[in-house]
């Protein structure tokens, strides 16, 4: 099996613009995987869209300290056997800091409307507390949790691979609800493809959410299994707490795609 990729990426990383062009070839024969550059790179991408996104993000989180901001725009062409496809991505990774709290957001540049509420909440954050018994999770928090829940899905909900797009071999991504997952994730030609769920979403029979419940609106650290430290806003106060998702009460409507794992659709959720 031979896979080829040609791509260009422009990246803004904490103040430095990095423009990369490269192309490469990956060969899989049984258990053996080999890859190498091919020297047929496309032209450089213009940095304008990345610079605009950087300004938009800065505007939304001002005056908080930006600890890390990486904005990327990538365009790539893929070829695997007789299948040819293209892909374009515009993403960012942001961490903003106040005191000893750090809010982390991974998202697409098309989805920045949750940044200002997160920044406002972080600016008001008080002392760490125990989490409330019942809570809503914002779409960006749900999306971050889903890839970690694959091996231990919460009760009363099911994880579903959402149909749409192509996988690392150029095969259509189909609807699927469990292992063995039918599709493969290949983030780079230098990575051996991994069988895993893509574009995950969480489904529950209950879709009605209680808007009066406190809302976990941002991650304050990486997800560990079904546990995460989050920023919670509710009843006039904002505070960090560590939550453990074991039972889902309801999942809201259409999700928003986030670049966690092999892709994750975050919808508002209640547990």
Give the binding site for other proteins (CB under 8 A). Answer: 13-24, 31-37, 39, 41, 44, 47, 68, 97, 99-102, 190, 192
Residue in this structure with the two tokens 């889903």, named with its chain if needed = 146
Q: Which of residues 219 and 256 has its CB atom nearest to other proteins in the complex?
A: 219
Q: Which of residues 47 and 174 has its CB atom nearest to other proteins in the complex?
A: 47
Query: Min. distance of Cβ 211 from other proteins in angstroms?
Result: 32
Q: Which of residues 58 and 158 has its CB atom nearest to other proteins in the complex?
A: 58
Q: Which of residues 21 and 64 has its CB atom nearest to other proteins in the complex?
A: 21
Residue in this structure with the two tokens 């259409």, named with its chain if needed = 254
Q: Which of residues 38 and 203 has its CB atom nearest to other proteins in the complex?
A: 38
Q: Which of residues 44 and 124 has its CB atom nearest to other proteins in the complex?
A: 44
The C-alpha torsion from 166 through 168 and 174 to 180, rounded to 10°, is 180
Query: Min. distance of Cβ 10 from other proteins in angstroms?
Result: 10
Q: Quick one: DSSP state of residue 155?
A: B
**HEC sequence for 212-268:** CCCEEEEECCCCECCEEEEEEEECCEEEEEEEECCECCEECCCCEEECCCCCEEECC
Distances (CA, A) of 2 to 22, 146, 170, 187: 17, 31, 12, 16
Q: Which of residues 158 and 190 has its CB atom nearest to other proteins in the complex?
A: 190
Cα 15 to Cα 248: distance, rounded to the nearest angstrom: 41
3-class SS at 17? strand
Query: Min. distance of Cβ 33 from other proteins in angstroms?
Result: 5
Burial of 150 (0-12, 13-18, 19+ CB in 10 A): middle
Q: Which of residues 100 and 208 has its CB atom nearest to other proteins in the complex?
A: 100
Query: Min. distance of Cβ 11 from other proteins in angstroms?
Result: 8
Query: Min. distance of Cβ 20 from other proteins in angstroms?
Result: 4
| Entry field: residues in the chain | 271
Whether the CB-CB separation of 183 and 160 falls below 8 Å is answered with no
Query: Min. distance of Cβ 87 from other proteins in angstroms?
Result: 18
Helix (H) or strand (E) holding 5: strand 2-13
Query: Min. distance of Cβ 154 from other proteins in angstroms?
Result: 26
Dihedral sign (CA 53, 57, 62, 68):
negative
Query: Min. distance of Cβ 78 from other proteins in angstroms?
Result: 16
Residue in this structure with the two tokens 């007789």, named with its chain if needed = 82
């Amino acid at each position: 099996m031979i896979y080829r990729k040609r791509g260009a990426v422009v990246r803004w990383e904490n103040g430095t613009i990095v423009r990369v062009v490269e192309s490469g070839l990956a060969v899989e024969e049984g258990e053996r995987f080999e890859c190498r550059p091919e020297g047929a790179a496309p032209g450089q991408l213009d940095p304008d869209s990345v610079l605009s996104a950087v300004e938009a993000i800065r505007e939304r989180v001002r005056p908080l300290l930006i600890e890390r901001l990486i904005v990327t725009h990538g365009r790539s062409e893929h070829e695997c056997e007789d299948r040819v496809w293209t892909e374009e991505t515009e993403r960012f990774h942001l961490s903003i800091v106040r005191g000893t709290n750090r809010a982390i957001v991974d998202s697409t540049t098309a989805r920045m409307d949750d940044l200002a509420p997160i920044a406002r909440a972080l600016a008001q954050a008080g002392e760490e507390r125990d989490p409330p018994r019942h809570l809503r999770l914002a779409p960006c928090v749900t999306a971050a949790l889903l890839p970690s829940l694959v091996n231990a899905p919460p009760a009363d909900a099911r994880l579903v691979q959402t149909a749409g797009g192509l996988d690392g071999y150029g095969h259509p991504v189909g609807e699927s609800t469990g292992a063995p997952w039918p599709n493969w994730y290949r983030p780079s030609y230098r990575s051996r493809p991994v069988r895993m769920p893509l574009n995950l979403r969480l489904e529950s029979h209950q879709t009605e959410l209680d808007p009066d419940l406190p809302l976990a609106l941002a991650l304050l650290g990486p997800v560990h299994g079904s546990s995460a430290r989050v920023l919670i806003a509710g009843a006039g106060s904002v505070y960090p707490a560590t939550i453990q998702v074991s039972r889902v009460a309801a999942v809201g409507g259409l999700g928003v795609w986030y670049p966690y794992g092999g892709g994750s659709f975050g919808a508002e959720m209640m547990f």
